[in-house]
Structure 1
Amino acid sequence: MADRTVTSESERDDDNARRKRILYRCQHRGMKEMDILLGGYVGEHAGTMSEADLATLEVLMDVSDQELFAWMIGRKPVPAEHDTALYRAIAAYRSKSS
């Protein structure tokens, strides 16, 4: 039973470290507008995001700042593969914040 507790603690530590890495990446993207937008959203929601949302966010973070910003302001359409519930929540956060 002690081994399971250690594993649970280790898993929790890994999860916390992952959330911190994601938050750091969202706050330090390189384009100030995206640092504020993604960093703000993730700063408020990282602690409660599901594993699936974290995975979706990691994929979204691989999109360039310029491309992601163009989607957010409506300059370009969001590709279907990125038009997820998480993307829409971030876009709604942007609308609420501005």
Structure 2
Amino acid sequence: MTSGEDIAIRRKRLRYRAWHRGTREMDLILGPFADAHVEAYGAAELDRLEKLMDEEDPPLLRWVMGQEEPPAHVDRAFLELLIADHEKRTGQ
């Protein structure tokens, strides 16, 4: 497998994972985000997305909705990209 195939498989897995979170709310936030962005992302951005997706759904949803501040370990810059994308899609 070449590195191009590796990243293609990684992108496909991330898109699947984004749409199959376990909570419908996060599916509808992360799924469209992944569909719109993962094909353009390189390894570094995919790493950032994977790390954010490693978070549990309930706190991640509260962060996206602005109900709670994320802890210090969270990549806030990348979280802001997700929030902006969600707000654009929902007209908020």
TM over 0.5: yes
Q: Which runs of 5+ in 1 are unaligned?
A: 1-8
Tell me how many residue pairs correspond in the alignment. 90
Q: Which runs of 5+ in 2 are unaligned?
A: none
Paired residue secondary structure (2:60): helix
Q: Normalized per residue, which structure has more helix?
A: 1
Q: Please, which of 40, 44, 49 is the counterpart of residue 52 of structure 1?
A: 44
Identity %: 37
Q: Please, which of 25, 30, 35 is the counterpart of residue 22 of structure 2?
A: 30
Paired residue secondary structure (1:52): helix
Instruction: State which structure, 1 or 2, has the greater radius of gyration over its C-alpha atoms.
Output: 1
Q: Given the alignment of the two structures, is residue 75 of structure 1 paired with residue 67 of structure 2, yes or no?
A: yes
Q: TM-score with structure 2 length normalisation?
A: 0.90
Measured on the aligned residues, the alpha-carbon RMSD in Å equals: 1.3
Q: Given the alignment of the two structures, is residue 10 of structure 1 paired with residue 2 of structure 2, yes or no?
A: yes
Instruction: Give every structure 1 segment of 4 or more consecutive aligned residues whose post-TM-superposition deviation is greater than 4 Å.
Output: none
Q: Please, which of 70, 76, 81 is the counterpart of residue 84 of structure 1?
A: 76
The answer to whether the 8 A contact 2:7-2:43 is kept is no
